[in-house]
Amino acid sequence: MEKIELSDRAFKAIMDRLKNIEAALHTKQTNLDDVFLDNQEFLQLMYISKRTAQSWRNEGVIAYSQIGNKIYYRMSDIVKMLEEHRQPSRSGINATSKS
């Protein structure tokens, strides 16, 4: 294995950049309004077809942005859609119990 030596100044510069990247990632993770997914990422995240995504857009199930032919979804809108369509569990039913 090759050994790489860095000066204190170079090491500090790298560490400062890593801290800035870490801060940016933390901001993105805590502020869902800033995260956008394109249509392909949305399809993969939700495990749905292009046709299903188109239906959801047409029916107003999910909010989206469109620039030309490119479609984008805000992560906070995806979470909102899932929350709005959430079905509460039925009390008294234990899925692990046997009849």
Query: How many independent structural domains does the chain possess?
Result: 1
3 state SS of 42:
helix
| 40 within a domain of the structure (yes/no) | yes
**Domain ranges, residue 51:** 34-84
**CA separation for the pair 35, 29 (Å, rounded):** 8
Query: Pick from 73, 53, 48: which is nearest to 63 by CA?
Result: 73
3 state SS of 66:
strand
With 0-12 / 13-18 / 19 or more C-beta atoms within 10 angstroms meaning exposed / middle / buried, residue 42 is buried
Give the per-residue pLDDT at 32. Answer: 67
| 48 within a domain of the structure (yes/no) | yes
| 66 within a domain of the structure (yes/no) | yes
| pLDDT, tens only, 19-67 | 888 887 777 667 766 788 999 999 999 999 999 999 999 999 999 999 9
| 38 within a domain of the structure (yes/no) | yes
What lies within 8 Å, CB to CB, of 34 at 6+ separation is 27, 28
| 50 within a domain of the structure (yes/no) | yes
